[in-house]
Structure 1
């Protein structure tokens, strides 16, 4: 049985991970992360009179920053466990300004032309790209004229970059090439990835990972314009295998994008 590209099993898997979400995934909101999202949100004019949508809100880490900038916030997620955790992030005084929706991201027909700023942080990760395309088209339709779509998408390029650095690290420690390749593949967790199609599978979760050029392609195909793609930069820390030894290398990244309807 399929619900717009999301299976009940995926809803349960994401709900199951809600309590330890920040232990499993990189945190783009950490203070030592270089995140273009904040500047892009600050650039939204007259935000205090506008409505933002957190599409795929997860456990709700972005709700506070959005409520601090916008008049109203729509928080959407298809996993009930995520919605439950996100509700806990909203202070009682702000609850009247937040509308929670438990539904897939492509189910926005009743929101056409009502959103000024849509934000999707690591939520454009449906393994079926047809669902992603429907979602992008639905997001574009829900934006008012002059609106903006902002987001972060996990980078498959960064996994390959980490692999390169681990491979060099192993060679520098005297490993033979074949052993260095096995070392890099193991510690970069290649067993979880399909690099050809940018897919990730871990403990019941199935996700899409992105190349920057693919983001531009799919946003443009959905009718967005003025598309810019840049990087969210993560420091080498204990979230990465061998991070301490990679501290002097350029940082890892996810993709940040900004697009207009």
Structure 2
């Protein structure tokens, strides 16, 4: 790892950068917001920030890094509401990786919102509310007015973000050419920001989705899932 290159895509204020400097020979921090990059520099201080390459650009603008990256990291930064931009970004990340390079990331979970909704609905029904009232209660306290559940989007005061289902993570990574895709939950304890948190403390916690995906050795362009299946021995 000490000789490898890592890029933190959508680095924000740079909470990961100090650790990355300890583990990698070359560290790149990318963000579209100059204020975030300035905060990241301040956070590291002048002695450490001089060892980081700070890039002010969008996440899909990686042509000059093609084939140079060993590890790419996206922590809650793959949240563009337009899936065309997400697909473009994932293809760019794939092209930036060296063969056997790794993409690690976390994305906001839409199914965690649905899970919270289920628990709130049960809670309302157990308190004696009729179904229609329980549904209204749940929709209000789970803030459904901010979510588009069909397309996995969140909108609040001008902020628009993508929320993900696990099958969608696998689909979009595979579509961009990634293989060896693994998913796991990043668990978050119930806290006051979530409606009913005290009453729900005995239930399993809510989550976001962590994923790991790799660029295959020798891959030059994204291979479709259909091509991937057809290339396997015994395929019709």
Same fold (TM over 0.5): yes
What SS does structure 2 have at the residue aligned with 1:106? coil
Q: Specify which of 187, 192, 196 is matched with residue 141 of structure 2.
A: 187
Q: Are 2:88 and 1:107 aligned?
A: no
Answer with 1 or 2: which has the greater Rg: 2
Q: Counterparts of 1:60 and 1:193 in 2: how far apart (Å)?
A: 28
**1:85 and 1:241 mapped to 2: Cα distance?**
32
TM-score (norm 1): 0.80
Which residue does 1:256 correspond to in 2? 210
Q: Greater CA deviation, 155-164 or 172-181?
A: 172-181
1:224 to 168, 175, 178: 178
The equivalent residue for 2:94 is 140
How many matched pairs?
215
Query: Equivalents in 2 of 1:162, 1:106: separation in Å?
Result: 33
Which residue in 2 is equivalent to 1:29?
A: none
C-alpha distance in 2 between matches for 1:247 and 1:68: 37
Give yes or no for contact 1:78–1:102 (8 Å, CA) kept in 2: yes
- Partners of 1:210 and 1:186 in 2: how far apart? 21
* C-alpha separation in 2, matches of 1:243 and 1:166: 10
The match for 1:247 is 201
Q: Which residue of 1 aligns with 2:18?
A: 64
Give the distance between the partners of 2:89 and 2:142, measured in 1 at CA.
30
| Residue matched to 1:203 | 157
SS across alignment from 2:54: strand
Q: Summarize deviations over 1:107-156 as a string: whole Å, max 9, x none.
A: 00000111110000001111111110110000011111221000000010
CA contact (8 A) 1:75 1:99 kept: yes
CA distance in 1, matches of 2:150, 2:97: 33
Aligned-pair CA distance for 1:65: 2.1
Helix, strand or coil at the partner of 1:158: helix
Specify the alignment match of 1:156 in structure 2. 110
Give the corresponding residue for 2:76: 122
Distance 1:73 1:101 in 2: 11
Give the Cα separation in 2 of the matches to 1:65 and 1:173. 48
Q: Could you tell me whether the CA contact under 8 Å between 1:53 and 1:115 is conserved in 2?
A: yes
2:30 alignment counterpart? 76
- Distance, in Å, in 1 between the alignment partners of 2:209 and 2:153 is 15
Aligned to 1:5: none
Q: Which runs of 5+ in 1 are unaligned?
A: 1-46
Give the equivalent residue in structure 2 for 1:94. Answer: 48
Pick 1 or 2: higher relative contact order, CA cutoff 8 A, min separation 6. Answer: 1
- Name the Cα RMSD after superposition: 1.1
Q: Deviations over 1:199-240 (max 9, x none)?
A: 011121111110000010010010001011111011111121
